[in-house]
Structure 1
Amino acid sequence: MKFILSVVIATSSLFAAVSAHAIVKRAPPAGPHWDYSGDKTGPDHWGLLDPAYVTCESGMQQSPVDINKESLSRFVHCAKKALTFDYKPVKDAVAHFNGHTVEIDWTPGAKTHNNSIAIGKKQYNLIQFHFHTPSEHRINGRHADAELHLVHRNPVDKSLAVIGVLLQAQARNVPFFHYLTALQKKVHADKHSAVAAAPGTTSAIIEELLKDSVCAGTQPTSEEATKVDYPLPSVDFEPLVRALKGFTPRWEYSGSLTTPPCSENVAWNVMHDPYPIGLDQLRALVDLQGYNARDIEDSRGGSSHK
């Protein structure tokens, strides 16, 4: 699969003036601080930060992985059979930056429809979705511009299943991601200034931008940004599901969370076909969350592409 990598590194700084009505108190994140930097709180040290994170270092089925000829012959399965799913619009969702990623979540109610997927005889309900820039999974060693994770949980044993959607930038904005630029403007309380991307940007240039601008993992947002919500009256998944042909075809494998505590036995479903994201939306996403992709894991003994 060929991806045109056109990730744009936004360099605007955070303005402190966020309107008072946009501030919502949030509970501090549980556990010790971790990030995507190259220092002692970065991915190479996650397993040492807390006993609860030891799987990040000692796990044998860690994610993300590079999907290539080797992994397909060993533990990744290409599924062409339709995935059983039941998706309807979600009401009263909230988009926010949680300190690590832009996340969209909601509070289930008595009348809330449980968007779900079925794997075997197990049902998993959608609980939130979030983003990584660039993509965490790679195809034949290559990143996509970003990756969307639809996180599902079984209501009985609390096991997880994640649908990973590789995102590819295009000139036009995409309606499904309209909240990204809106959230960015609300965080900054001003229009952003971003690095403009030239048409036909090559992957080599993109890699240099990533290396020079955000590979150190420094988040361009402040702690105040984690208190800003952008309400979404409704999230309609129909355009996404239709474009992904009902989540088929896809690559399946058993892996882990890609963030601490890196718990394993996560049922991964990485979509074969990419989904578009607008350049302005990608700029907003990178501006909000920076570089937040864990390196490829080779815990199964295969070759590493770190």
Structure 2
Amino acid sequence: MKFILSVVIATSSLFAAVSAHAIVKRDAAAGPHWDYSGDKTGPDHWGLLDPAYVTCETGMQQSPIDINKETLSRFVQCAKKALTFDYKPVKDAVAHFTGQTVEIDWNPGPKSHNNSIAIGKKQYNLIQFHFHTPSEHRINGRHAAAPGPPQPRRQVPGCHRRPPQAQARNVPFFHYLTALQKKVHADKRASAVAAAPGTTSAVIEELLKDSICAGTQPTSEEATKVNYPLPIVDFAPLVRALKGFTPRWEYSGSLTTPPCSENVAWNVMHDPYPIGLDQLRALVDLQGYNARDIEDSRRPAHE
């Protein structure tokens, strides 16, 4: 199974994910409850939940998008210059389920190295990364099974494309996905997650087959209390394999979750990076469907 990473860098004073703008860590209690499937709390209603979320409804440069011949001619650019990464292993991180996504974050100390990317003369620090199933962005109409890790916005999100085939062998970088799932079940806090609509084996098989999820994500409050400590997270294999994240697609968009702030510089990686079959199953089991719909139609005819 493979996916494409995206780097989000936001250029506004707001926060984004890897995009070029400053980002804040997710805080589920920071605003009204939203999700991906509720009749009154799903993506079609995000802009109505709170005045701070109005851009989700009225914004004209919303993400995610489908990267295809039309969008490439209008507002998406192909970049071939490598991004400059200054990454060192992160110590004392934690993997956990937030209620919407599996997230890996950490609290850097005053003397900690700031993992960052440089775009032009600007530096953007990595503060966390998380996952979506299926990928939020599409490539020529196709989802990937899952989107990927680090995106420094002054943080990072991830995007994927449809994988050519599943990979039976698990990938060391994503070992925490199956470990977190096992810990959730071992603590007997996963009954609601395991039984949640959309996380049955049939749905997982459909996800693996067509890179499209169906159903709803788990909302178990107990599952959100389970943390899996990570003594160290080493990004070197990821950065090395993706060769400076080139080539890639660049465009100006938005956060894909409330408040949907715009002026986010997305960098969607062209070349896929593998994820193991068991790791994908663990991801789907924990978070279910958590991808916003494609937002291309909001864009002006010509940009």
Q: How many residues align?
A: 286
User: CA deviation digits over 1:77-134, x for unaligned, max 9?
Assistant: 1101111221111111010001110000000112211111112221100010000000
Q: Deviations over 1:178-220 (max 9, x none)?
A: 0001101111117999999999999999796699999665333
3-state secondary structure, aligned to 2:166: strand
Which structure 2 residue ranges, 5 or more long, are not aligned?
147-159
Are 2:170 and 1:173 equivalent residues in the alignment?
yes
Give the direction of change, closer, same or farther, for the CA distance of 1:13–1:190 in structure 2 (3 Å limit). farther
Match of 1:294 in 2: 292
* 1:19/1:224 CA distance change after superposition, 3 Å: farther
- Structure 1 stretches of 5 or more lacking a match? 147-151, 156-167
**1:23 aligns to what SS in structure 2?**
coil
Partners of 1:254 and 1:6 in 2: CA distance: 13
The two structures have a TM-score, normalised by structure 2, of: 0.76
Higher mean C-alpha displacement, 38-47 vs 4-13: 4-13
d(CA) in 1 for partners of 2:58, 2:13: 37
Deviates more, 1:211-220 or 1:82-91: 211-220
Kindly report the root-mean-square deviation, in angstroms, between the aligned alpha carbons of the 2 structures: 10.1
Worse-superposed segment, 200-209 or 65-74: 200-209
TM-score computed with the length of structure 1 as normaliser: 0.75
1:275 CA displacement: 0.7
Q: Is the 8 A contact 1:254 1:265 kept in 2?
A: yes
- Alpha-carbon distance change, 43 to 145 in structure 1, aligned in 2, over 3 angstroms: same
* Preserved CA contact (<8 Å) 1:101 1:289: yes
Instruction: Write the distance in 2 (CA, Å) between the matches of 1:64 and 1:16.
Output: 13
Which has the larger Rg?
1
- Compared with structure 1, are the counterparts of its residues 287 and 73 closer, same or farther at alpha carbon in structure 2 (3 Å cutoff)? same
Whether the 8 Å CA contact 1:67–1:140 is kept in 2: the answer is: yes
The alpha-carbon distance between structure 1 residues 99 and 199, as it changes in their structure 2 partners (threshold 3 A), is closer
Change over 3 Å in CA distance of 1:228–1:153 after alignment to 2 = farther
Q: Is 1:119 the counterpart of 2:128 in the alignment?
A: no
Name whichever of 33-42 and 176-185 sits farther off.
33-42
Q: Per-residue deviation at 1:298?
A: 2.0
Identity %, equivalent residues: 92
Q: 1:278 to 1:31 in 2, by over 3 A?
A: same
Say if 1:185 and 1:203 are closer, same or farther in 2 by CA, change over 3 A.
closer
Change (3 A) 1:183 1:140: same
Q: 1:23 to 1:128 in 2, by over 3 A?
A: closer
Equivalents in 1 of 2:13, 2:52: separation in Å? 34
Local SS of the residue matching 2:263: strand
Is the alpha carbon distance of 1:106 and 1:56 closer, same or farther for their aligned partners in structure 2, counting shifts above 3 Å? same
